[in-house]
Structure 1
Amino acid sequence: MTTHADTTALSGEPDWYAQGSWRSEPLWTSFVSAARGPGAAATVRDGDQVLTLPELLVRAQRIAGGLVAAGVRPGAAVIVQSRNSIDAFAALLACYSQGFVSIPLPPMFSPAQVGAVAESAAAEALILLEDNAGATISHVLDKLRTVKAAFAVDAGDANGRDKVRPWASCLASAPLPANPPSPDADAIVLYSSGSTGAPKGVVHSGNSLRFAAEALASFHRVGPSDRVLVALEFGFVGGTVLGAMLAFLAGASTVLMRKWDVETCLSVIERERITYTLLMPTHCYDVLIRDDLESFDLSSLSRAILAGASSEQRRKAASVFCGVPLPMYGMSESMGHCTCAPGDADSGLFGSDGRTLPGTEMRVLDEHGRPVAPGEVGNVFLRGPNRLRRYQARPDLTARAIDPEGWFATGDRGRLDEGGFLTFVARASEMIRRGGIMIQPAEIELALGTHPAIAELSVVGVPDDRLGERVCACARLKPGQALDLEEIRAHLQRAGLPRYQWPELLLLFEAFPRTPSLKVRRADLAAEARSRLMATKD
């Protein structure tokens, strides 16, 4: 895997070094500086296990020693699949100490998905910290020769035993002195939740990762006196970069939640005196529907990012959950780009999705590339030192998404007010956002379209109070055929599609709405699906 962070020639992009947004010191050096300075007394808690930040870095160097002993080379990709844990984040830090490229993956990724990621990145090592990793190891080692070692807590009866090593052996390695790369080298690749095809890898350098974490920490005033709860799933930008990495660089203490549970979350906030966290819409829903919040002492939670929460949810959160509920608009490609500062006016905190982080830019344009007037809806473009450097192994996608001046086309629609606050309006793409996870309908349609009863299929998102959207399969059947949701799920299980992508609703149609060229009008179909589902509720 190349270590050059940017494969595009962006003649008009600002000089982030000249602006002071990027620095020449390696990313690893910044973690060391935090641990030796403001974070010297900071701790990282994972259940009953607690390390200081300096101890976490020593563990990272032990893991680096194990990886180098296995033959992993600087610039090589290292996949880490886990729930939130001390070892998982120490493994990512180990990558930054030696110039490996970290690829954090959530536990929900199937063996086929992990295999597609490993192949795309030509990974040289797997670190699998969940139980029953044998199927994943076998799938990857059977198809990929670049892997030199697979470290696992539980390898089961995996194939390729000569490359399988117990995770404990890595932790027992002697600490390896750091040899970090340039901060412009690839540091992390955040992968979308694709299925058996090649998932989309978002490549960030040490500098773009560091800027995003440090800029957000500064904007939200996170420092050594804070205790940060990481409640989001490992492998996604919110928990990995804007949660744990932010806390480490800010010298704050960190508490890791391995799995979301609202009762656990509230208890941890109370017991650990959490001061800052980031939650997605699903988490907000789970918290705010409870009628016993007054039984928990949540007074320490001075501010919380409630990404994607509605204005009404943020107002309620301000009265029953946290001191200042902060909006956020961003994505893996442009991490934490828009939010509010704790001192912003209520019109921004409750009536928008935020303003740009200092040092970043945003513009909203019409279909001809011209700025729209304040309050008018247009296409959202972002630029900044927190932007992705490229898509992994997809120069075509990179060229379409980033123009020569460094502007990233989000594919979203929004409007800006006169104060520069953004309101997100709609996604221009067909992606379904379920509980903060982006789901591509085409992947489900490809897997489900082979079912013998289905004549035609279209998958759409329908609104849901808790998850934001649910996945609804809209099908036309062949004559004389029958189909139910359980059969759909069984078919997708046989096809190897991960469970989180399975439709939760099925609607049968005699005909689909179409354009004059006979293409399915997805927006009209989704509207009809919503109407039918609402009618069943009545």
Structure 2
Amino acid sequence: MNELGLGGWLARRRLRAPDKLALVFDGGAWTYTDFADTAERVSALLAAHGIRKGDTVAYVGENSPHLLAVLFGTVQLGAVFVPVNTRLAPPEIAYVLTDSAARLVVHDPEFDDRLAAIFSGGEAPTTIRTGAGTGNAPGLTTLLASKEPLPASTVMQRDDPAAIIYTSGTTGKPKGAVLTHQNLTFVSLNCVIDYDVVSTDVALMISPLFHVASLGMGALPLILKGGTLVLEKGFEPGRALELIERHSITMLSGVPTTYQLMADHPHWHDADLSSLQKLTCGGSAVPTRILNAYEDRGLSFAQGYGMTETSPGGTTLPPTMSRVKQGSVGLPQFFTDVRVADENGSPLPTGEVGEVQIAGPNVFAGYLNLPEATAEAFTPDGWFRSGDLGYLDDDGYLYIADRLKDMIISGGENIYPAEVENLISDIDGVTGVAVIGVPDDKWGESPWAVLTVRDGAEADTDAVRAHLDGKLARYKIPKNVVVVDELPRTASGKVRKADLRARFGASV
């Protein structure tokens, strides 16, 4: 059998279950036959535009069946898919398209102006709008209707690139993480095994597919198993609750904020959640109040840890251990290894904090066009250096202390913000928290807490400090608490702490 990588998935799904519902979206649905046929028409269209193995095809748009069809149509040719964060400003989109050397860009009409601003001054790649388009400028739907399907035939090696996903860029410019066919296959296998994904699962996709977690740990595992994806362009808690009931959703993924907003919605207590079986949560540990809210409805979470460079899986904490190992991000995923090492790369004993390092077939090939950054990202013996601090317990469960670069050093003492944030997040009314280091003439740095709170709730420095008193060493308790309307976040939901340090550090 020829090795087609991801390019062979849809044809094999079509062969096994041609009439099985694959994608449900606003206004329609595709079977696996529809899905595979459309992806093969995309391949034919791309080939007609000169796209060949190794070329890059970018997509700028919200969740839709055509995003996934372009993904598979691209990899079926051996080309490389580049999903672009739709929240980026024109200069940021321009950087991604230029850095990835995109030969062709498929985009939603809503991004006409941003792309026009990018391409107004020079040579531009071929662009195709989604939708029907116009007579003079036919869109993707119209163009595909005139193409005969082009089945996958390009032989791929496991280490051939399949996608380039740009990191969040919390510091400096984003880097293009090159994910291979092997990376995306094994992260999918890890999820199928660790989350017990089955062909009867129906997953609600409320997170953007340009984000690696939604794509690599949401969409692809379900497609691999032949499940059904319900695609949403965005997240609105009331609508999400309604869709769970309407489509008998069995799987849902999100970040703690997602789940908190759903639990805070007026229809939470009367929403029919009886179909839900599997909830996964990443980004940060699930606060106790959210665990309580969902357990009251008979639901519990699988939690996890990873990053773009690991496609993004690293560890999984199963629902059965959410209380026993509360605060942990779990065990290494099935085909993945995790260790905690000192600055010399030597594994540390149980309980000692060091850098979390990851190895396995899901670990990326490297950063596009950045050989020095790629070399720095790996240890001499080939482990990926996460830049996160953590420790392993006696049972092998991983606990994240914090990002190495976010660690606060106050009076010579190390403070790991995640430890403080987890406790503050349990305060009633707090909806978001970030603890940062702010310059301090006496201590070098002092911890500050930046919060968002629910309407009608209040939180101040005295209340937060009182809540933490006796739970943390005094030097770890924030010196000041600031309430803001919104925390700056990346598309994946991570707080941009560099923005907060720049804002509040400069005001001291």
Which residue identity does 2:235 align to in structure 1? W
Match of 2:140 in 1: 167
Cα RMSD (Å): 3.2
Contact map agreement 1:304 1:322 (CA 8 A) in 2: no
Structure 2 CA distance, aligned partners of 1:287 and 1:409? Answer: 35
1:121 to 97, 100, 117: 100
1:237 aligns with 212
Q: Do the aligned partners of residues 394 and 226 (structure 1) sit closer, same or farther apart at CA in structure 2, a change above 3 Å counting? A: same
- Pick the aligned partner of 1:428 from 404, 407, 420: 404
Partner of 1:354: 330
Looking at structure 2, the residues matched to 264 and 247 of structure 1 have their Cα atoms a distance apart, in angstroms, of: 22
Alignment check: 8 A CA contact 1:103 1:190 kept: yes
**1:465-511, Cα deviation, whole Å (9 max, x unpaired):** 43444999x8xxxxxxxxxxxxxxxxxxxxxxxxxxxxxxxxxxxxx
CA distance in 2, matches of 1:70, 1:167: 13
Corresponding residue for residue 42 of structure 2: 63
Indicate the residue corresponding to 1:338 in structure 2. 315
- The answer to whether the Cα contact below 8 Å between 1:60 and 1:93 also exists between their aligned partners in 2 is yes
Contact 2:436/2:448 (CA < 8 Å) preserved in 1?
no
Q: Which amino acid aligns with 2:341?
A: L
CA distances 1:498-528 after superposition (whole Å, capped 9, x unpaired): xxxxxxxxxxxxxx43699xxxx5x537469
Please state how far the C-alpha of 1:375 moved relative to its aligned partner: 2.2
Residue deviations 1:276-328, cap 9 Å, x none? 12111220221233354221010111111121242414522542456331111
Q: Is 1:513 paired with 2:492?
A: no
CA distance in 2, matches of 1:59, 1:467: 41
Q: Which of 83, 89, 97 is 2:62 aligned to?
A: 83
Query: Aligned-pair distance for 1:404?
Result: 3.6
Q: Give the aligned partner of residue 350 of structure 2.
A: 374
Deviating more after overlay: 26-35 vs 408-417: 26-35
Q: Deviations over 1:389-434 (max 9, x none)?
A: 1111111110000124320111111111111111111111249xxx
What is the rounded CA distance, in whole Å, between the counterparts of 1:382 and 1:35 in structure 2? Answer: 35
Cα distance in 1 for partners of 2:123, 2:364 equals 27
TM-score, with length taken from structure 2: 0.77
Q: Give the Cα–Cα distance (whole angstroms) in 2 for the partners of residues 219 and 416 of structure 1.
A: 19
Aligned residue pair count: 433
Q: C-alpha displacement at 1:27, in angstroms?
A: 1.7
Do 1:74 and 1:99's aligned partners in 2 also have CA atoms closer than 8 Å?
Answer: yes
- Asked if 1:533 corresponds to 2:481, the answer is yes
Whether 1:110 and 2:82 are equivalent positions in the alignment is: no
| Cα distance between partner residues in 2 of 1:46 and 1:141 | 34
Q: What is the correspondence of 1:237-256 to structure 2 with a 5 Å cutoff?
A: 237-256=212-231
**Cα deviations by residue, 1:249-276 (Å, 9 ceiling, x for unpaired):** 1111110111110111111111111111
One-letter code of the match for 2:431?
Answer: R
Moved more, 124-133 or 200-209: 124-133
> 3-state SS of the aligned residue for 2:53?
coil
Cα distance in 2 for partners of 1:56, 1:225 equals: 17
**1:388/1:466 Cα in 2 relative to 1: closer, same or farther (>3 Å)?**
farther
Q: How far apart are residue 386 of structure 1 and its match? A: 0.6
SS of 1:126's equivalent? Answer: strand
The separation in 1 between residues aligned to 2:35 and 2:127, in whole angstroms, is: 22
**1:394 and 2:367 equivalent?**
no
Select 2:249's aligned residue among 274, 291, 298.
274
In structure 2, stretches of 5+ residues that fail to align are 408-423, 451-460, 462-477, 486-508
* Counterpart mapping for 1:202-221 below 5 A: 202-221=177-196
Unmatched 5+ residue regions in structure 1?
1-22, 157-161, 432-462, 475-511
Higher-RCO chain (CA-CA 8 Å, sequence separation at least 6): 1
Cα distance in 2 for residues equivalent to 1:195 and 1:357: 26
Amino acid paired to 2:359: R
Q: Distance in 2 between matches of 1:390 and 1:356?
A: 21
Identity fraction in percent: 26
Q: Which residue of 2 aligns with 1:176?
A: 150
Hey, what's the Cα distance between the residues in 2 that align with 1:180 and 1:429? 42
Distance in 1 (CA, whole Å) between partners of 2:278 and 2:36 is 28
- Paired with 1:356 and 1:383, the residues of 2 have a C-alpha distance of 10
2:233 pairs with one of 258, 262, 287: 258
The one of 270, 275, 278 equivalent to 1:295 is 270
Q: Determine the structure 2 residue equivalent to 1:224.
A: 199
| Equivalent residue letter for 1:294 | H
